[in-house]
Amino acid sequence: MFIRYRRTGGVLTLLALAAVAIVATVFAVVVAVTVLIVLVAGAAGLLLARAVLPASWWPRASSSGGRAAPDTIETTAVHVAEWSDDRVLPSDRETRLSSED
């Protein structure tokens, strides 16, 4: 019984393997470029839509605090020309002295 060694492959196998590697690399590059083009087009579309559509159509960020709106305080504008110095108001000291009596 003899052990025989048969060499398979050779130059043709190396060429085929190189061709498969080149095809796989080209395919990966094509897929990456396609994904990049789709992402850039989507971002451009979003920017264009944001520029064209009114701001009221965009969803508003909700506050996580859930705080209520602040109360409204009604005020009256005071004009310096309308001030009257006719009345003299008691000071704090005078008020304390009169309450101690």
CA dihedral sign, ordered 32, 36, 38, 39: positive
Residue 1: inside a domain, yes or no? no
Does residue 76 lie in a domain region?
A: no
pLDDT at 49: 87
Helix (H), strand (E) at residue 95: helix 92-100
Task: Give the chain's residues under pLDDT 70.
Answer: 1, 5-9, 57-69, 78-101
Burial class (CB in 10 A: 0-12, 13-18, 19+), 5: exposed
Q: Looking at beta carbons, which pairs linking 35-42 to residues 24 or more positions away fall under 8 Å?
A: none
Q: Which domain holds residue 34?
A: 10-56
Q: What is the pLDDT of residue 34?
A: 98
Domain count, the chain: 1
Query: Can you tell me the distance from the alpha carbon of 60 to that of 54, in angstroms, rounded to the nearest whole number?
Result: 13
Residue 31: per-residue pLDDT: 97
Give the pLDDT score at 53.
Answer: 81
Is residue 82 a part of any domain in this protein?
A: no
pLDDT in tens, 9-23: 678 888 889 999 999
Residue 58 · residue 50 · CB < 8 Å: yes
Residue 100 lies in a domain: no
